[in-house]
Amino acid sequence: MTRLTKFRIIFNLLGIIIIITGIFSLIEKDLVLNGELRIKSDLTEKLPMISVLFPEHRVKKIDEHYLVQDEPIYFTVRSPIEFNRAEVDVEFQNGSQEVIGLGIATEEEGWNFETHTLYNKTLNNIYWSNMSDGINTLYQKNKTFDDIDEFLEVSNSIEGVGAYDFDLGENFTIPNYQASHEEMIINNCLRGKHEFYTYIKDEALDFTFKIQDINRTDGEDPLIIFIYNPRGKKIYSKIISDDGLISKIDPASDPRYVSIYIPDLEEGVYRVELSTNDDIFIREITTKQQKIVFIDRLYLCDSKEYSDGFVDLNLEASEVYTNGRLISFYTAHTAGLQTVSLDNTGINIYKKHEWIEAYSNPKLSRIYIPKNDLKISCRGIFALEKEHYFNPEIINLKDYSDIEEVNYIIARYQKPIESKDGWLKNKIIFNLDKAKIEEGNLKFMFSSPNLDSENNNFKINSLKVKLTGSRNIDPAFAYENFWNNIINKIKKIISQIK
Amino acid sequence: MKKAFRTIIFDIFYLLIGAYMVLMILENLKPGLVSNYVDLNKILYILVPFGILCVLVSNKKIKDKKINNE
């Protein structure tokens, strides 16, 4: 054997040992025997364990950070084994955005994400006393509790508890509510799609809607009614087809009455959705329910603008009560130009086809609308009579409003920490029990409303993800499981070839 | 010495090809096992120059043989 042959044998053996060691170290890494995986990305390059932000057209790469111009945007993180918990640290700048959320794809059917708040300007600016347990924050108007656990023990029995992205494990109830047998008539004319909450206790859900089709646009104008129970489950749906007059030169249709009667319902808040277009006018609502509040949007149409279609409109001024803070007004017609009173402050609706915004006082606000023909929008609820008002969203605040009835807010939220150069850092912890693993990846999503490429956007500088699972993984079991999976895969491939 | 150099170059190339193939097979059997930690394209960046080097070396070998024969 020559010296060269000896050298070659040793060299090749060494090479093979290095390769085998490398492969085993990859397998060991992949089995995550210590139950913890840390992934870090400054988003400058595509890494095997974490993707960059996508889709590309919704983000813009500037220097070493991303500018997010549209939502939603995603990133994926490889998950070689099933983990129990993900901690996602984000370094970002909110720009002009008031709320930024971060979600994780869940196993539920369709496009479903469990989203938590990364940034909330309003919560950051609450001047109340606050305390945190690392995940949740308790805000107290007057400090009563010294820790969150103490508060949660009694949260069901004290008044004025609001929850933001926090499940208090209870349904909203109105203490001392009693069913009434008297019929109530809401004779405000409402145009197009509306949603409202109503409260049921020892009574049937009983509504009659008087609807009319003004036929201002071509096409059919159906009305679809959905009703959801206190747990958010759809319990009723009904389609009311068009009356047959579908052309825009057709006259307004005759009134039709749609009745809904559902007995034997559990106590709680029911959401009624009237899904339709702006050709359908809800002229009257007759009900035995005492509490009705509209969600996010009202379109009042008792205006002479519609007198060509309906001769019996009630052209009097309307009064609306709302807990919303930023309120937007819109009219499409000259008849809708007017000065609206919001908490006795005049808001001039001076221009058609333009949303005019105003802030209300931090309490239940009164809006006086002299001429109607106005869309009113806010993140909150509207009541057409003060007696109808109740706020079922208090146990699940979609947005925080400094309303009088809230004394405590428990939120799954941490105020971000300011780091170097004005970057903010915040951490969101996800429980991965219901997380979807698609092709070995966990999928995360950033969302924030009303993004655009000019002023309304936010920046992301870096991401850190810590995945943790069970710490007591038996290496023998993990390796056995790994080889079994590989052998099964090989068998499957062979059977496919055969 | 020249022969030894050529042989070693070829051996390294075969080892790299072998490693690449094993990694590819493992990646196909368990997606993510390799690509989570190693960029397979980067192995290609090493393999290709080595392949070229091997071609050059073997051409030189053939030429040397021809010269020797003549």
Calculate the CA dihedral of residues A378, A381, A386, A392 and round it to 10 degrees: -160
| Largest Cα span, chain B | 55
What integer pLDDT is reported at residue A363 of this predicted model? 73
Contact yes or no for B22 and A29 at CB 8 A? no
Residue pLDDT, tens place only, A186-214 = 999 999 999 999 999 999 999 999 999 98
Q: Provide DSSP, B17-69.
A: HHHHHHHHHHHHHSTTTTTTTS-HHHHHHHHHHHHHHHHHHHHHHHHHHHHHH
What pLDDT score does A81 carry? 82
Model pLDDT, residue A313: 83
Give B12's contacts in chain A (Cβ within 8 Å): 15
φ, ψ for residue A387 (rounded to 5)? -70, -20
Measured between beta carbons, the chain A residues lying within 8 angstroms of B33 are: 26-27, 30, 80
Looking at residue A471, its pLDDT comes to 58
Least confident segment among A26-30, A156-160, B45-49 = A156-160
How many CB atoms are closer than 10 A to CB A174? 15
Instruction: Kindly indicate the confidence band of residue A32, based on its pLDDT and cuts at 50, 70 and 90.
Output: confident
Angle value at C-alpha A125, between A95 and A399, nearest 5 degrees: 80
Torsion of CA A165, A169, A175, A181, to 10 degrees: 90
When pLDDT is averaged across residues A321-336 and rounded to a whole number, the result is 89
Top pLDDT among A476 and A139 is at A139
Is-contact A202 A265, C-beta < 8 A?
A: no
Query: Is residue A118 over pLDDT 70?
Result: yes
The predicted pLDDT at position A444 comes to 94
Query: Cα(A223)–Cα(A375) distance, rounded to whole angstroms?
Result: 19
Please determine, for residue B1, whether its predicted confidence score (pLDDT) is greater than 60.
Answer: no
Contact B33 A439 (CB under 8 A): no
> Nearest 5 degrees, angle CA A239-CA A240-CA A244?
135
Task: Verify whether the Cβ–Cβ distance B29 to A439 is below 8 Å.
Answer: no
Amino acid A326 reads L
pTM to 2 decimal places = 0.63
| Average pLDDT, integer, range A171-177 | 78
Greatest alpha-carbon span in chain A? 112
Q: Which residues in chain B touch residue A11, judged by CB atoms under 8 angstroms apart?
A: 8, 11
Using CA coordinates, name the residue in chain A closest to B1. A4
Instruction: Place A258 in a pLDDT band, splitting at 50, 70 and 90.
Output: very high
Q: Is the pLDDT of residue A401 over 60?
A: no
Query: Which token pair is A80?
Result: 């070689």
Range in A51-65, A414-428, B12-26, B50-64 the model is least confident about: B50-64
**By the 8 A CB rule, do B50 and B13 touch?**
yes
**Type of residue found at A257:** Y
Structure tokens at A221: 């104008």
Task: Give the pLDDT of residue A463.
Answer: 93
Report which of A71, A41, A78, A79 is spatially closest to residue A54, judged by C-alpha positions: A71
For residue B3, give how far its alpha carbon lies from the nearest alpha carbon of chain A (Å). 9
- For residue A5, what pLDDT band results from cuts at 50, 70 and 90? confident
Q: Where does residue A47 rank: exposed (0-12), middle (13-18), buried (19+ CB within 10 A)?
A: middle
Q: What number is the average pLDDT over the span B40-67?
A: 77
Sequential DSSP letters for A15-62:
HHHHHHHHHHHHHHHHHTTTSEEEEEE-SSS--SSB---B-GGGEEEE
Q: Is the peptide bond before A72 cis (omega within 30 degrees of 0)?
A: yes
pLDDT at residue B63 greater than cutoff 80: no
The answer on pLDDT for A400 being more than 60 is no
Interface contact flag, B18 A27, Cβ < 8 Å:
no
CA A188/CA A320 separation, integer angstroms: 11
Q: Side-chain half-sphere of A357: how many Cα atoms within 13 Å?
A: 6
The contacts found for A153-160 with CB under 8 angstroms, 24 or more apart, are A155/A408, A155/A410, A158/A407, A158/A408, A159/A405, A159/A407, A160/A405, A160/A406, A160/A407, A160/A408
| Residue A374 pLDDT grade (very low, low, confident, very high; cuts 50, 70, 90) | very high
Closest chain A residue to B2 measured between Cα atoms?
Answer: A4
Q: Which of A6, A76, A484, A486 to mutate to test the interface with B (most CBs of B within 10 A)?
A: A486
| Cβ neighbours of A5 in B, within 8 Å | none
More confident site: A13 or B5: A13
pLDDT at position A141 is 87
DSSP three-state, residue A452: coil
pLDDT digits (tens, 9 = 90+) for B40-51: 788 888 888 888
- Report the share of chain A in percent with pLDDT over 90: 35
What three-state secondary structure class fits A238? Answer: strand
